[in-house]
Structure 1
Amino acid sequence: MRLNSKGQVTIPAELRARLNLHEGDEVDVIEEGGALRIVRVDDAETRGRRLVRHMRGRGAAREVEGMSTDQLMELLRGE
């Protein structure tokens, strides 16, 4: 691993997958005994919450408001 000119490092994909780290996750760097530890921020917004926040208000809720279940199923199935 190399430190780039901006002081950044890339966490290898295998480690990110194993530790369930995703783009946008918040982490802290802590110095302990002359070593650095990267730890997930405990109270940070989760990936799912970020996705919901991003998607909120983007749907076509107004178009389906007041539709019956049968009408919604027809719309979803493309019938």
Structure 2
Amino acid sequence: MATTLTSKGQVTIPKQIRDALDLAPGSSVEFAVNRDGELVIHKVGGQSGRKPDRFDAARGKADVKWRADELMALLRGED
């Protein structure tokens, strides 16, 4: 797989490799060059690179059923 180096020295890791290493935005990777001069990339840590969604714990927990017009009136301070 070939990719192009940008003027800032950046490359895009091909999707097949990101998927194989379970890489996601925010994942940490380590680059090394072996004795044969080949690039080796390792995922740092054993956890998935995906950050837990901070709203997952609260999602679906509300037990108050608001109607849109009632909620908007409350938020606007209407009596």
TM-score scaled by length of structure 2: 0.54
The count of aligned residue pairs is: 60
Deviation above 4 Å: which 4+ runs of structure 1? none
Identical pairs, percent: 32
Q: Give the superposed CA RMSD.
A: 3.1
TM superposition shift of 1:46:
4.3
- Counterpart contact for 2:5–2:11, Cα < 8 Å: yes
Q: Deviations over 1:14-71 (max 9, x none)?
A: 221232111110001112111221111126x6435x325xx27xx5xxxx6xxxxxxx
| CA 1:29–1:12: 2 relative to 1, 3 Å | same
Equivalent positions of 1:1-79 (< 5 A) are 1-33=3-35, 34-42=37-45, 46-48=48-50, 50-52=51-53, 55=54, 72=63, 75=65
Answer with 1 or 2: which has the greater Rg: 2
Q: Which one has the bigger helix percentage?
A: 1
Structure 2 unmatched ranges of 5 or more: 66-79
TM-score scaled by length of structure 1: 0.54
